[in-house]
């Protein structure tokens, strides 16, 4: 099978808008979660905190492309452009039939939907509506808009699966190259800041509501005192490339993807399954031809919800026991939903290249219902060669990615 390496990284997150900024923020133990005063006007919304992307010039996107993009696609466009530049890809490479795209989000443009639908319903007419509105709202708005803006003409795989959208995008790109269907894949996902996403988790009693006055304490993965997740925004893109293709053009290499698994619990639409989580990790290990003991660090999905963290801890412990270092970086920035998997993949590359295993922010005492996994309560400086990143979504959708330090 062909080897798949990562040659470009671009991202926008509550912890910074580049690979280097993300590293420095993790190293300094910064938190990107803040109080959102605008949400005070929303009746009965209990959660008032979020992680937001700042200092990004979305108007730098040419208007002819921006006019069909909501914020979610615009964030994706910026991070994708950065990844392409980082990988030093030419337009001929991007427009080759051997270059494809795998990108997703939980939903399309939420803000556009909230502007568009009430007006249509009130008038019972589409006359006078913005002709670009549907293009901003459609589920595959990110993948479609990126393909047009960057003239990517190979396979296009929209991966819209909630919290596994971007990890499935990375996985789909990996498989496309591994099995010979592409030489380059532009992969990732995005999510935009909107109270709709926060409200969905709020009505399910799954969102953090107790720390509006101390937002940095609001997300506590695995901790006994956690009270729910924090919904945030962000985007990320990875350029995946077949190894020999990358070497031939002198590309820098961040790391190698050596394993991927995706699966469905097939049991409950919202309640996570320990068995499903364990199965997908086993699948990625099998794909990489590894034993659990080969994994030196695990970036957990762990969103700080009551049942999700418990199920994940038991699935993780069943394979890796109590020694393998585990952390969730959602305490640093919240849950990026469709963007979380790709940003956490970048964090795994930081672990490999910078020898930084980030702490689990706000973690003090492991929930007594969790299995006794080795949750990191402080940053650890340690050389590692093989790491795993796991994500889980509504509908029982599961993903597991394994990254390896590149060695020629």
Q: Report the alpha-carbon distance of residue 349 to residue 260 in Å, rounded.
A: 16
Is residue 33, in this structure, part of any structural domain at all? yes
Residues contacting 329, CB < 8 A, separation 6+: 26, 299, 344, 347, 358, 360, 361
Residue 26 has pLDDT above 90, yes or no: yes
Least confident range from 6-10, 60-64, 121-125, 380-384: namely 121-125
Residue 130 has pLDDT above 80, yes or no: no
Q: Report the alpha-carbon distance of residue 402 to residue 4 in Å, rounded.
A: 12
E strands present in 246-292:
255-264
Output the pLDDT for position 112.
85
Output the pLDDT for position 122.
75
Neighbours of 293 (CB within 10 A): 11
Is residue 142, in this structure, part of any structural domain at all? yes
How many CA atoms, within 13 angstroms, populate the side-chain half-sphere of residue 245? 22
Is residue 408, in this structure, part of any structural domain at all? no
Is residue 67, in this structure, part of any structural domain at all? yes
273 phi and psi, to 5 degrees?
Answer: -110, 125
In this prediction, residues 33-48 reach a mean pLDDT of 95
Q: Which residue has the tokens 């995005």?
A: 190
Output the pLDDT for position 314.
98
Neighbours of 275 (CB within 10 A): 13
41 phi and psi, to 5 degrees?
Answer: -80, -10
Q: Give one word for 76, left, alpha or beta, with left for phi > 0 and alpha for psi -120 to 50.
A: alpha
Q: What pairs with residue 402 in β-bridges?
A: 259, 388
Output the pLDDT for position 123.
75
Is residue 405, in this structure, part of any structural domain at all? no
Output the pLDDT for position 118.
76
Is residue 404, in this structure, part of any structural domain at all? no
In this prediction, residues 228-234 reach a mean pLDDT of 98
Computed over every residue of the chain, the mean pLDDT equals: 96
Strand order in the sheet with 386-393: 156-158, 99-105, 184-191, 234-242, 4-12, 255-264, 397-404, 386-393, 297-299, 325-327, 374-375
Share of the chain above pLDDT 90, in %: 91
Q: Report the alpha-carbon distance of residue 303 to residue 280 in Å, rounded.
A: 18
In this prediction, residues 25-50 reach a mean pLDDT of 96
Residues contacting 342, CB < 8 A, separation 6+: 11, 166, 167, 169, 170, 187, 188, 189, 235, 236, 237, 238
Residue 129 has pLDDT above 80, yes or no: no
Q: What is the pLDDT of residues 363-387, one digit of tens each?
A: 999 999 999 999 999 999 999 999 9
Q: What is the pLDDT of residues 67-126, one digit of tens each?
A: 999 999 999 999 999 999 999 999 999 999 999 999 999 999 888 888 777 777 777 776
The number of domains in the chain is 1
Largest CA-CA distance found in the chain, in angstroms, rounded? 63
Is residue 403, in this structure, part of any structural domain at all? no
Domain carrying residue 270 = 4-398
Output the pLDDT for position 51.
98
Q: Report the alpha-carbon distance of residue 142 to residue 135 in Å, rounded.
A: 9
**Residue with more model confidence, 256 or 270:** 256
Q: How confident is the model at residue 273 (pLDDT cuts 50, 70, 90)?
A: very high
List the CATH number of the domain containing 128.
3.40.47.10
- Residues with a catalytic annotation lie at 163, 301, 335
In this prediction, residues 310-337 reach a mean pLDDT of 98
Residue 408 has pLDDT above 90, yes or no: no
Is residue 406, in this structure, part of any structural domain at all? no
Q: How many helices (H) and strands (E) in the chain?
A: 14, 15
Q: How confident is the model at residue 251 (pLDDT cuts 50, 70, 90)?
A: very high
Task: Please state the pTM of the whole predicted model.
Answer: 0.96
Contact call for residues 231 and 198 (beta carbons, < 8 A): yes
Output the pLDDT for position 223.
98
Contact call for residues 370 and 309 (beta carbons, < 8 A): yes
Residues contacting 240, CB < 8 A, separation 6+: 4, 5, 6, 7, 170, 173, 174, 177, 184, 185, 186, 187, 257
Q: How confident is the model at residue 270 (pLDDT cuts 50, 70, 90)?
A: confident
């Amino acid at each position: 099978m062909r080897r798949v390496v990562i040659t470009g990284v671009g991202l926008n997150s509550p912890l910074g808008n580049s690979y280097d900024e993300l590293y420095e923020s993790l190293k300094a133990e910064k938190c990107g979660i803040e109080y959102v005063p605008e949400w005070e006007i929303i009746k009965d919304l209990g959660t008032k905190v979020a992680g937001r992307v700042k200092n990004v010039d979305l108007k730098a996107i040419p208007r002819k492309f921006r006019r069909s993009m909501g914020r979610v696609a615009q964030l994706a466009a910026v991070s994708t452009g950065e990844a392409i530049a980082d990988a030093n890809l030419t337009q001929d490479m991007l427009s080759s039939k051997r270059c494809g795209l795998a990108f997703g989000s939980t939903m399309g443009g939420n803000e556009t939907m909230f502007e568009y639908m009430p007006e249509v319903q009130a008038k019972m007419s589409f006359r006078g509506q913005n002709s670009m509105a549907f293009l901003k709202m459609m589920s595959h708005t990110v993948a479609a808009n990126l393909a047009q803006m960057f003239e990517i003409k190979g396979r296009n795989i929209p991966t819209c699966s909630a919290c596994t959208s971007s990890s499935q995008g990375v996985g789909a790109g990996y498989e496309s190259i591994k099995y010979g269907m592409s030489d380059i894949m532009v992969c990732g996902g995005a999510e935009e800041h909107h109270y709709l996403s926060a409200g969905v988790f709020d009505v399910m009693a799954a969102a953090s509501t107790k720390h509006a006055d101390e937002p940095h304490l609001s997300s506590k993965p695995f901790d006994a005192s956690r009270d729910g997740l924090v919904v945030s925004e962000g985007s990320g893109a990875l350029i995946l490339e077949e190894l020999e293709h990358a070497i031939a053009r002198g590309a820098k290499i961040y790391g190698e993807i050596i394993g991927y698994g995706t699966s469905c619990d097939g049991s409950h639409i919202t309640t996570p399954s320990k068995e499903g989580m364990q199965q997908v990790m086993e699948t990625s290990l099998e794909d990489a031809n590894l034993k659990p003991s080969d994994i030196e660090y695990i970036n957990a999905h762990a969103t700080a919800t009551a049942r999700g963290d418990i199920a994940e801890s038991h699935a993780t412990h069943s394979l890796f026991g109590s020694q393998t270092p585990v952390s969730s970086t959602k305490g640093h920035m919240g849950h990026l939903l469709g963007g979380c998997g790709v940003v956490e993949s970048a964090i795994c590359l930081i672990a490999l290249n910078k020898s930084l295993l980030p702490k689990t922010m706000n973690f003090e005492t492991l929930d007594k219902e969790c299995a006794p996994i080795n949750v990191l309560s402080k940053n650890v400086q340690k050389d590692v060669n093989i790491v795993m990143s796991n994500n889980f979504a509504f509908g029982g959708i599961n993903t597991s990615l394994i990254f390896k330090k590149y060695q020629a």
